Amino acid sequence: MATIFSKIISGDIPSYKVAEDERFYAFLDINPLAKGHTLVVPKHEVDYIFDLDDEELAAMQIFAKRVALAIQQVFPCRKVGQAVIGLEVPHAHIHLIPIQRESDMIFSHPKLKLSDEEFKAIAAAIWQKWSER
Ligand code: AMP
């Protein structure tokens, strides 16, 4: 059975897309720790990120780098933090989160509640910066 992220990639479930190429897809996390919190996923469905072969893992990281630089242009921050957890959705993904301090990466912290309009505006702004690169 397809994962929820595969259904997002195929368009069967909506998402706030921020970047896409032939192999990878990036979209806003619906329970963000910060504005701009993004997930990067391979279109190829694999549960555990370290089961990706070396070439695909490297390509995913390079794609995530481009997305992170676009996020940082939209949401100036000290750094864009990166995390891999994957205990909730069994489809490999990288979290990219604009951070000012270490505690901004604590996943048990309360999540932001954003409106559909806010998500759309954030996604459009990151997409714009990503596509300029
Ligand atoms: P984890 O597998 O622990 O890395 O967590 C999965 C992440 O996916 C969580 O931060 C969720 O908020 C996020 N998530 C789950 N379903 C969706 C969805 N339909 N759209 C966007 N983000 C999602």
Tens digits of residue pLDDT in 64-122: 999 999 999 999 999 999 999 999 999 999 999 999 999 999 999 999 999 999 999 99
Q: Is 87 in the pocket of ligand 1 (CB under 6 A)?
A: yes
Q: How far is the CA of 96 from the centre of ligand 1 (A)?
A: 12
Residue owning the nearest CA to atom 17 of ligand 1: 30
pLDDT beyond 90 at 12? yes
Q: Is 15 in the pocket of ligand 1 (CB under 6 A)?
A: yes
**pLDDT averaged over the chain?**
97
**Which one is catalytic: 37, 91, 93, 95?**
93
| Residue 6 pLDDT greater than 90, yes or no | yes
Cα(30) to centroid(ligand 1), Å: 7
For the cut 90, the answer to whether the pLDDT of residue 1 exceeds it is: no
Minimal CA–CA distance to 33: which of 99, 112, 108?
112
**pLDDT tier at 133, thresholds 50, 70, 90:** confident
pLDDT-derived band of residue 59, with 50, 70 and 90 as boundaries? very high
Predicted pLDDT of residue 84: 98
Atom of ligand 1 nearest to the CA of 29: 22
- Annotated active-site residue 109? The verdict is no
